[in-house]
Amino acid sequence: MKGDFVLSKAHLSYWLRQLRKEFDLIAPLRSVGSDIILNSVSNIHEIALDCPANIPSPKEFIFPQKEEMFKFSDKGVDTLNDSRKRVIFGVRSCDMSAVALLDRFYGGLFEDGFYMSRRRNTFFISIACNNPDPTCFCTGLGTGPYLKSGFDIQLTDLGDRYLVQMDSKEGRSLVKNFRHLFQMPRKADYDDQYEANLSSQSKFEKRITLENVRQKILAGKVDDSFWESVALRCFECGGCVYECPLCTCFNVIDWKETPDKGVRMRLWDTCMFKGFTKMAGNILPAEKKIMRTKRWYFHKLLYYPEQFGKFGCVGCGRCTITCPGRIDMATIANKLD
């Protein structure tokens, strides 16, 4: 494609070091033990390039688990917008697809200023997945392992070099200033990309089409006894929601530091908890577990397509890893398909 480049792996750390001068550089880093988390990079060589696909999603950086919205005191109210410039390196294709959908959710008629402020200042360098995990199923959803559009910069590992593709003005600007590091791609580079893509597609162990599941539910072929059996296995831990790159629910609380000043903040919340919909007078509209598990699935499988034309799932497989009851999206979809 016109505008693509090739970056030798020898030049990667230099490029990232340059970007770090201007941006807060976030990348997968080895944490305690074998854990890998996305975090601010202080040493470029600590970036984990060979990490599995299931590291925590970058949702945290555009919709943090705990976000301070307003500071209030008897003197007045300040809106706390985070506009720190960030580059998140090493994001997976599925997560990039999720961000595109989050943009539409938080935008629209009522634009979420807190999300947008972070989002406008966050750029992504995603890496196409040559080695999908056994839990991955993005290939059936078109959200990976390689993206045709919807990214800032996409890297494809071609052994000793990366194919560098850009799909946004911001992405191009991250490359433009360091043009001397990048070469023009040759035909062999595209041949290698094609081969890497095919080889990756063949490695997927889970081949799931959510469309079949959606059709079955719409046709009324899935009765409540099925959802009852799902609910029976739910531990109400909320893991699926917290790990999901597309779950967006939050709670808002006021916290007082002293009697006359404090912070209004929002925190991730989960619809799996009984108290999530609790109303005045202790009324619990979704008291039964089946209502909550079913709502989660219906939201992702029926109402996301209705509202956005896309499933509320990008096939990242995180719920498969985290769910102790084995009632994750992939398992349920396999059962229903």
Partner 1 sequence: MTKTKTLKNHKEIYLPQKVKILDVVDMTSDVKLYKLEQPKGFFYSPGQFLMASVWGAGEVPISITSSSELHDDIELCVRKVGAVTSALHELKAGDYMGIRGPLGNGFHFEEAYGKDILFVAGGIGIAPLRSLINLVISQKKKFGEIALVYGSRNPSEVLFVPQLLDWKKEGIRTTITVDVKNAECEYCTGIVTEHLTRQKISFKTGHSYICGPHVMLKAVMRDLSLMGMSQDNIITTMEAHMKCGVGKCGHCYADGKYICTDGPVFSYSEIKQYNLLNSP
Binding-site ranges for partner 1 (CB under 8 A): 69-70, 72, 77, 79, 105-106, 109-114, 248-254, 256, 262, 264, 266, 269, 271, 276-281, 283, 285-286, 291, 294-295, 298-299, 302-303, 306-307
Whole-angstrom Cα distance, residue 126 to residue 30? 18
Min separation Cβ 262 and partner 1, Å? 5
Given the complex with partner 1, which of 152 and 269 has the nearer CB atom? 269
Whole-angstrom Cα distance, residue 326 to residue 332? 9
Min separation Cβ 110 and partner 1, Å? 4
Q: Both tokens of residue 315?
A: 């096939």
Residue type, 56: P
Given the complex with partner 1, which of 71 and 203 has the nearer CB atom? 71
Q: 219 to each of 83, 250, 302, 303, 327, how far by Cα in Å?
A: 46, 32, 12, 15, 22
Min separation Cβ 280 and partner 1, Å? 4
Min separation Cβ 151 and partner 1, Å? 25
Based on the number of CB atoms within 10 Å of its own CB, is 80 exposed (0-12), middle (13-18) or buried (19 or more)?
Answer: middle
Min separation Cβ 100 and partner 1, Å? 17
Min separation Cβ 206 and partner 1, Å? 26
Given the complex with partner 1, which of 89 and 114 has the nearer CB atom? 114
Strand order of the sheet with strand 250-258?
76-79, 66-73, 261-268, 250-258
* CA proximity to 217, closest of 305, 336, 314, 304: 336
Tell me if 286 sits within 8 A of 277, measured CB to CB.
yes
Given the complex with partner 1, which of 57 and 135 has the nearer CB atom? 57
Tell me if 201 sits within 8 A of 139, measured CB to CB.
yes
Q: Residues 280, 286, 287, 291: what is their CA dihedral angle, to the nearest 10 degrees?
A: 180
Given the complex with partner 1, which of 178 and 298 has the nearer CB atom? 298
Q: Both tokens of residue 73?
A: 């005191």
Given the complex with partner 1, which of 167 and 243 has the nearer CB atom? 243
Q: Name the helix (H) or strand (E) containing 123.
A: strand 122-127
Given the complex with partner 1, which of 247 and 333 has the nearer CB atom? 247
Min separation Cβ 65 and partner 1, Å? 15
